[in-house]
Amino acid sequence: MIVRILFSLVAILLLAPFAGAQGLAEALQDCPGIVVVSNSASQQIHLQMTDDPTEMSVIWATGGRSMNQIVEYQRGPDLLEVNAESYCYGNHNMAFHMATMTGLPLGEEIEYRVGTQNAQMSEFYTFTTIDPSENHFEWISIADHGDSSEALDVSEAIIADESAQMVTVSGDIAYADGEQSAWDSWFQEQQASMTQIPWVTAVGNHENEPGYEFAPYEHRFDSDQQIETETFWYSRNVPGVHMTFMSTEHDYSVGSTQFSWLEQDLSSVNRDVTPFVIVYGHKPMYSSNSYHGSEVELRTALEELYVAQGVDLVIAGHDHFYERTWPVSGETVMDTGKDNLFYRGQGPIHLVIGMAGRSAYEELDEPQPEWSAYRENNSYGWTRLVYDGNDSQLSLTHYRIDGTIGDQFTITDSTVIGDSEDANILGLTGIDSLLMVIVLLGAVVRKR
């Protein structure tokens, strides 16, 4: 009896540092193998964007339960401290900590560090807050990353990019597949970038791990400043662009919670503030790769909504190659642009960018579908996007890891493209406009 009492007291003392984030029973059940250490070096440090541009969250890991974890940051003349919430999951032998820096000035450089208060702190890192009112914004989008040599080449290119202000990942991030040390290594590889700019993610099928399901993803990334978030769909505004992150791994059918949220989110976009809308998800609505191909069920459920709400880009992964469609609806090409210049509102352009590191899927559907504008099946790389508010344009460039360019195109918010011969006073081109009207009317009739 005395031994049992002593054991219980020791357990309570050891787990006390985590009481603020996880209850005692939950900590005992979820993390039975984590030991308490007086202090431990911070690792896997990564910024996480909130829906408030004056805030930035930071998550980091330690090799054991370490009390008094804080983020320390400079705001004006003041050096501020925020206590971190600490937590763990499953039987993984790492502890995680999350804190949010608040009241940050827009468009300014912030210096911060994390670690054990009055003891072992990390070096100082800097990031620049995103000012939504800026007229220029650059970022990188990838999917299907992992830790191959090609993936490391992509990581090195991202780390070397001094102009990109964020990275988005359309799912299948680390390919841990139940081996949690793979996540640890992946975060360490990206830390040089992730301590300076936020990486914002959509969940993929490989985030649903054997023995863990989505728990590792839920604990390592944050979309709502909640520990063990179950928020798999959310949105963020950056200069000129509304970004919607959805989950192809959860119910998206008409009437589902996610569908209702997507409908509300997309219909609430202020196009005067963010004229361009991008939807990020993992599985593609359009793909001519023979390995997976088009996710027809996804297209059936959501394409009408995306068309009706004027989504400009849908960026997916899953198939390990690069493909761009024309502006398309119902497999019908709505516009072929002019010299890879398109105007928004004709229909979404769909991208598959699953070439960030996993083995390429080289077998393609033949003949190439009419809706497929460009594809390549044996290269690796990333995409870089630029919003230019002065010209009301959104441009994308697909880079290969050897530095060459595979594809480029631009979407403009201007009413007329150049000297297009059949442009009418609305800036819509003949038959393309008629097709667009038919599609929109059809969507309305079907809804009724």
The answer to whether residue 13 scores a pLDDT higher than 90 is no
Q: Quick one: pLDDT at residue 7?
A: 34
Q: What is the pLDDT of residues 319-341, one digit of tens each?
A: 999 999 999 999 999 999 999 99
CA 365, CA 341: separation in Å to the nearest integer? Answer: 26
Q: Per-residue pLDDT averaged across 229-243, rounded?
A: 93
Q: Quick one: pLDDT at residue 39?
A: 61
| 23/399: higher pLDDT | 399
Extended strands (E) in 76-231 = 78-83, 85-87, 95-101, 109-116, 125-128, 136-142, 167-170, 199-202
Among candidates 63, 90, 65, which has minimal Cα distance to 15? Answer: 65
Q: Quick one: pLDDT at residue 34?
A: 57
| 348/441: higher pLDDT | 348
The answer to whether residue 301 scores a pLDDT higher than 50 is yes
Q: How confident is the model at residue 4 (pLDDT cuts 50, 70, 90)?
A: very low
Q: Quick one: pLDDT at residue 25?
A: 42
The answer to whether residue 64 scores a pLDDT higher than 90 is no
CA 386, CA 390: separation in Å to the nearest integer? Answer: 12
Q: Quick one: pLDDT at residue 225?
A: 78
SS (H, E, C) 335-352: CCCECCEEECCCCCEEEE
The answer to whether residue 45 scores a pLDDT higher than 50 is yes
Q: How confident is the model at residue 10 (pLDDT cuts 50, 70, 90)?
A: very low
Q: Quick one: pLDDT at residue 189?
A: 97
Residues 6+ positions from 178 with CB-CB distance below 8 Å:
209, 210, 211, 212
Whether pTM > 0.85 for this model: the answer is: yes
- CB neighbours (10 Å) of residue 334? 25
Q: What is the pLDDT of residues 409-422, one digit of tens each?
A: 999 997 544 443 34
> 193: helix, coil or strand?
helix
Q: Quick one: pLDDT at residue 173?
A: 98
Q: What is the pLDDT of residues 241-300, one digit of tens each?
A: 999 999 999 999 999 999 999 999 999 999 999 999 999 999 999 999 999 999 999 999
Residues 6+ positions from 356 with CB-CB distance below 8 Å:
142, 143, 144, 145, 146, 150, 151, 154, 317, 380, 381, 382
The answer to whether residue 59 scores a pLDDT higher than 50 is yes
Q: Quick one: pLDDT at residue 209?
A: 97
The answer to whether residue 21 scores a pLDDT higher than 60 is no
Q: Quick one: pLDDT at residue 228?
A: 67
Among candidates 56, 134, 54, 68, which has minimal Cα distance to 97? Answer: 68
Tokens of 152: 């490391």
- Determine what percent of the chain falls in helix, strand and coil, rounding each to the nearest 5: 25, 30, 45
Q: What is the pLDDT of residues 66-125, one digit of tens each?
A: 778 999 999 888 899 999 999 999 889 899 999 999 999 999 999 999 999 888 899 999
Q: What is the pLDDT of residues 203-231, one digit of tens each?
A: 999 999 999 999 999 999 998 877 766 78
Over the chain, what is the mean pLDDT? 87
The answer to whether residue 20 scores a pLDDT higher than 60 is no
The answer to whether residue 18 scores a pLDDT higher than 70 is no
Q: Could you identify the residue written with the tokens 């940050």?
A: 104
Q: Per-residue pLDDT averaged across 292-321, rounded?
A: 98
Residues 316 and 143: beta-carbon distance below 8 Å: yes
Q: Quick one: pLDDT at residue 26?
A: 46
Structural domains of the chain sorted by starting position, each given as residue range(s) with its CATH number in brackets = 2-128 (2.60.40.380), 136-447 (3.60.21.10)
CA 246, CA 167: separation in Å to the nearest integer? Answer: 16
Q: What is the pLDDT of residues 123-141, one digit of tens each?
A: 999 999 999 999 999 999 9
Q: Quick one: pLDDT at residue 229?
A: 66
Q: What is the pLDDT of residues 182-191, one digit of tens each?
A: 999 999 999 9
The answer to whether residue 429 scores a pLDDT higher than 70 is no
Q: Quick one: pLDDT at residue 27?
A: 44
Q: Quick one: pLDDT at residue 33?
A: 53
Cross-strand pairs, 243: 236, 278
The answer to whether residue 239 scores a pLDDT higher than 80 is yes
Q: Which of 57-71, 158-172, 423-437 has the highest mean pLDDT?
A: 158-172
Residues 6+ positions from 8 with CB-CB distance below 8 Å:
none
